[in-house]
Every structure is written in C-alpha cells, then in structure tokens.
Structure 1
C-alpha cells in the first residue's frame, strides 16, 4: 500500500493502478478487493499511470524522467525509457 500521497489512478477491467509520492505503483484487484502487487521501479514521484486500451500493459511516468511499460499478465517490466521526459 502507499505510504504517502496518491497522485494518479487508472482502471482496466478488474485492476486499479495508483501511483504516488512514495515512488510506488500499487495494483489493486477490484474483484477480490485486495492489494495484488506493489512495484517500486521508479526513483521519484509517479505522476501518471495508464493502462493500454487492450489492458495488456500499464505505462507509468515519474519525476525521475522515466517511462516504464509493465505487462499486466505477469506484472514484469518490459521497457524502460530512462530520460523520456523531464
């Protein structure tokens, strides 16, 4: 769970993703109403989380300048653009 303020949320099917000032993105399973996964791949506040239209991937953007693509089937990182913005 988050230990600081939540900055953004996105929903796709049974999952809700949230990003916050604690550098985490948290995945909640809406069907079971439980925390499914906590990922700490960023080194800064997460300002945006968005599922793809197909729901197969989650994109996150952070103050660290990175954009990360995570596959939703296994919650593994597929791509990191380290200085994508900033």
Structure 2
C-alpha cells in the first residue's frame, strides 16, 4: 500500500499526512476521472494481474481498505 499512498500524494501535492484506510478517495477528490486509468494501471502493476473493469465497480476503488481487499490482498 506504500506505493499506492505515494502515488496519491504525488497526484495531490497539497495532501499532508497519511491517508486513512477508510477515507473515501473519490469524495475527497484524491482520485479523479483524469487519473483513474493511471490508478488502475498502478494497481495492475503492483498486483501483477489485470483488472477487469467490467467486473469492478467504483466502490472497489473508493477506499484504501477496499483496494487492498479487492486487488492487493495477494500482492507481495
């Protein structure tokens, strides 16, 4: 999750401190539509698997907890 948090901080330079695992990334505007596909690419790179966007919902990307559970639980 360190790489995900680092990416979010890079995209949001005004963000101070850690991101709470249950913070709504969409509502907090930490991920927007312009960055979404790049975020998916990052998750695919970290997990080593392809993400089928036909099988995913926006809620799968909404919090760091959900991202970890849905996409990174088996990533090393």
- TM-score interval, normalised by the smaller of the two chains: under 0.3
Q: Which one scores higher on RCO, CA 8 angstroms, separation ≥ 6?
A: 2
TM-score (norm. length: structure 1): 0.26
Structure with more helix by fraction: 2
Q: TM-score, normalised on structure 2?
A: 0.27
Q: Greater strand percent: which structure?
A: 1
